[in-house]
A and B are shown apart, each in its own frame.
Chain A
Amino acid sequence: MKLLKLPQQRKRRFGFVDSFLWAVRIGALVFVVVGIFGIPGVAGGPEGSLFKTLSGEGVSGEAWRDLFISGLAQGSMYGMIALGYSLVYGVLGFINFAHGEVFMSGALVSFFAADAFATAGIWESQPVLALGFTILVAMATSTIVAVLTERIAYRRLRGSPRLIPLITSIGMSFFIRYTFRGLFGDSFKTYPAAPGVLEGRATIFGVEILKTQLTVIVVTAVSMVVLYQFVARTRMGRAMRAIAEDREIAALMGVNVDRVISLTFAVGGAMAGIAGVLWALLFRQVHFLTGFLPGIKGFTAAVVGGIGNMAGAYVGGLAIGLVESVGPLLVLDGWGIPAVSQLKDVVAFSALVLVLIYRPTGLLGERLSVEERG
Chain B
Amino acid sequence: MADREPVLEFRGVNTHYGPVHILKDVDLKVFDGEIVCLLGGNASGKTTTLKAVLGMVIPTTGDVLLNGEVCSDKSTSYRVERGVTMVPENRRLFKRMTVKENLEMGTYLRTDKENLADDLERIFELFPLVKERLGQKAGTLSGGEQQMVAVGRALMARPKVLLMDEPSMGLAPVLVAQNFEIIEQINEAGTTVFVVEQNASMALSIADRGYVLQTGQIVLSGTAEDLLSNPQMRQAYLGEVD
A249 to B235, CA, bound (A): 36
A250 to B80, CA, bound (A): 11
Give min CB distance, A312 to chain B, whole Å: 14
A348 to B69, CA, bound (A): 60
- Please tell me if the beta carbons of B96 and A249 are within 8 angstroms of each other in the complex: no
Contact of A251 among B56, B96, B97, B153 (CB under 8 A): B56
Judged by a CB distance under 8 angstroms, whether B237 is at the interface is no
- Please tell me if the beta carbons of A251 and B92 are within 8 angstroms of each other in the complex: no
Contact of A254 among B96, B101, B104, B157 (CB under 8 A): B157
Judged by a CB distance under 8 angstroms, whether B76 is at the interface is yes
Judged by a CB distance under 8 angstroms, whether A252 is at the interface is yes
- Please tell me if the beta carbons of B105 and A242 are within 8 angstroms of each other in the complex: yes
What size tier do the contact residues of chain A reach? 10 to 19
- Please tell me if the beta carbons of A256 and B77 are within 8 angstroms of each other in the complex: yes
What size tier do the contact residues of chain B reach? 20 to 34
CB nearest neighbor in B for A371: B95
Main secondary structure of the interface of A (DSSP, over half): helix
Judged by a CB distance under 8 angstroms, whether A239 is at the interface is yes
Contacts of A372 in B (CB 8 A): 95
A252 touching B54 in the complex, CB below 8 Å, given contacts A235-B108, A239-B108, A242-B105: yes
Judged by a CB distance under 8 angstroms, whether B144 is at the interface is no
Contacts of B153 in A (CB 8 A): 253
Judged by a CB distance under 8 angstroms, whether B109 is at the interface is yes
Considering residues B75, B105, B106, which has the most beta carbons from chain A within 10 angstroms of its beta carbon? B105
- Please tell me if the beta carbons of B94 and A254 are within 8 angstroms of each other in the complex: no
Contacts of B75 in A (CB 8 A): 256
- Please tell me if the beta carbons of B108 and A255 are within 8 angstroms of each other in the complex: yes
A253 to B101, CA, bound (A): 12
Contacts of A255 in B (CB 8 A): 77, 108
Stretch in contact with the other chain, from B10-18, B81-89, B219-227: B81-89
Interface residues of B in 92-148 (CB under 8 A from A): 92, 94-97, 101, 104-106, 108-109
Contacts of B157 in A (CB 8 A): 253-254
Give min CB distance, B154 to chain A, whole Å: 9
A253 to B80, CA, bound (A): 7
Interface residues of A in 320-374 (CB under 8 A from B): 372
- Please tell me if the beta carbons of B109 and A254 are within 8 angstroms of each other in the complex: yes
- Please tell me if the beta carbons of A241 and B77 are within 8 angstroms of each other in the complex: no
Contacts of B104 in A (CB 8 A): 238
Contacts of B95 in A (CB 8 A): 245, 372
Contacts of A252 in B (CB 8 A): 54, 76, 80, 85-86, 88
A246 to B92, CA, bound (A): 8
A241 touching B97 in the complex, CB below 8 Å, given contacts A254-B76, A254-B157: yes
- Please tell me if the beta carbons of B56 and A254 are within 8 angstroms of each other in the complex: no
A245 touching B94 in the complex, CB below 8 Å, given contacts A252-B86, A254-B80, A255-B108: yes
Give min CB distance, B218 to chain A, whole Å: 25
Contacts of A57 in B (CB 8 A): none
Contacts of B96 in A (CB 8 A): 241, 245
* A contacts, CB < 8 Å to B: 235, 238-239, 241-242, 245-246, 248-256, 372
A–B pairs, 15, beta carbons within 8 Å = A241-B94, A241-B96, A246-B92, A248-B56, A248-B92, A250-B105, A251-B56, A252-B80, A252-B85, A252-B88, A253-B106, A253-B108, A253-B157, A254-B80, A256-B77
| New contact pairs (12) apart from A252-B88, A254-B157, CB-CB < 8 Å | A238-B97, A239-B108, A241-B94, A241-B96, A241-B97, A242-B97, A245-B95, A248-B56, A249-B94, A253-B108, A255-B77, A372-B95
Give me the 7 closest cross-chain CB pairs, A-B, nearest first.
A254-B109, A254-B80, A254-B77, A253-B108, A254-B108, A251-B76, A245-B94
* B contacts, CB < 8 Å to A: 54, 56, 75-77, 80-81, 85-86, 88, 92, 94-97, 101, 104-106, 108-109, 153, 157
